[in-house]
Chains A and B, each alone.
Chain A
Amino acid sequence: MSWSGEIRTSAPSRARRFGRQNNFDKLARMPWGLVALIVGLAIFGTAMLYSSTATNPASADLPMKHFTRFLISFALMMGLALAPISYWKRAAFPAYGVALLLLIGVEFFGDTGGGAERWLELGPLRLQPSEFMKLALVMAVAHYYQITLRDNSGGFLIHLPAFAMVLAPAALILRQPDLGTALTVVAAGLVMIYFAGLYWRLILLALIGGLAGAPFAYFYVLKDYQRARVETLWNPTADPLGAGYQSEQAKIAIGSGGWDGKGFTQGTQSQLDFIPEQHTDFIFTVMAEEFGFLGSASMLLVWATVIVWGFLIAMRCNSSFGRFAAIGAVATIAFYVAFNVGMVAGLLPVVGIPMPLISYGGTAMLTVMAAFGLILSVHLHRDVKAP
Chain B
Amino acid sequence: MSDLRDLDFEFSRRTMLAAGAGGVVWTTLLARLFQLQVLEGDRYASLAAENRVKLELAPPQRGRILDRFGTPLGAHRRAGRVTLIGEQVEDVPATLRRIAELIDLPADRQERIIRETARQASFVPVIVAEELTYEDFARMNVHAVSLPGVRVEMASTRSYPRGRDFAHVLGYVARASERDLGRLTEGANPSETELIRRLFKHPDMRTGRLGIEYLAEEWLRGTVGRHRVVTNAAGRVIEELPSDDLAPEAGRDVSITIDADLQRAAIERFGDESGAAVVIDIESGDILALVSTPTYDPNDFVNGISTSDYNALRENDRSPLFHKAYDGLYPPGSTFKMVVAAAALATGAVTPEQRVYCPGHYWFAGRKWHCWKRGGHGSVNMHSGIKGSCDAYFYEVARLTGVEEIAKMSRQFGFGHRWDIGVTGGKAGVVPNDAWKREALGEQWYEGETLNFGIGQGYLNASPLQLALMTARIATEGRDIRPNLIGVGPRPTEAEVPASSLDPEIMQRMKAGMFGVTSEPGGTARSSGDLGLGGPRLAGKTGTAQVRRITTEERNSGVRKGATLDRKLRDHALFVAYAPADDPKYAISVIVEHGEGGSRAAAPVARDILAYALKTDSRRAPAYRQTAQRSDTPASSRGTP
Contacts and interface: CB of A to CB of B under 8 A. Distances in A.
A300 B36 contact: no
Interface of B: 1-4, 6-7, 10-11, 14-15, 18-19, 22, 25-26, 28-30, 32-34, 36-38, 40-45, 47-49, 51-52, 230-234, 238
Contacts of B48: 252-253, 255-256, 268-269
A293 B33 contact: yes
A292 interface: yes
B38 A258 contact: yes
A259 B32 contact: no
Interface in A196-236: 197
B167 to A, nearest CB: 47
Interface of A: 55, 149-150, 152, 191, 194-195, 197, 249, 251-259, 268-269, 271-275, 288, 292-293, 296-297, 300, 304, 307, 311, 315, 318, 320, 334, 338, 341-342, 345-347
Contacts of A338: 25-26, 29
A272 B26 contact: no
B37 A258 contact: yes
Contacts of B238: 272
A253 B52 CA distance: 12
A304 B36 contact: no
Contact of B234 (A273, A304, A341): A273
Given A255-B44, A315-B15, 4 more contacts: A255-B36, A255-B47, A297-B30, A342-B29
Contacts of A272: 51-52, 230-233, 238
A249 B47 CA distance: 9
A275 B232 CA distance: 10
Contacts of B37: 254-255, 257-259, 288, 292-293, 296
Nearest to A299: B33
A258 B43 CA distance: 10
Contact of A256 (B45, B231, B234): B45
Contact of A55 (B2, B45, B232): B232
A259 B38 contact: yes
Contacts of B232: 55, 271-274
A85 to B, nearest CB: 15
A258 B41 contact: yes
B38 A194 contact: no
5 contacts: A55-B232, A150-B3, A254-B33, A288-B33, A300-B26
B170 to A, nearest CB: 44
Nearest to B51: A274
A347 B28 contact: yes
**Residue among A249, A252, A311, A341 with the highest chain B CB neighbour number at 10 A:** A252
Given A195-B14, A269-B48, A272-B238, A259 B41 contact: yes
A347 B32 contact: yes
Contacts of A345: 29, 32-33, 36
Contacts of B34: 293, 297
Contacts of B43: 255
Contacts of A257: 37, 41
Contacts of B1: 318
B18 A191 contact: yes
Contact of B4 (A271, A300, A318): A318
A149 B3 CA distance: 7
Interface centre among A194, A274, A342 (most CB of B within 10 A): A274
Nearest to A196: B7
B18 A252 contact: no
A318 to B, nearest CB: 7
A217 B593 CA distance: 87
Contacts of B234: 273
Contacts of B26: 300, 304, 338
B33 A320 contact: no
A197 B17 CA distance: 13
A68 B33 CA distance: 31
Most buried by B among A251, A259, A345: A345
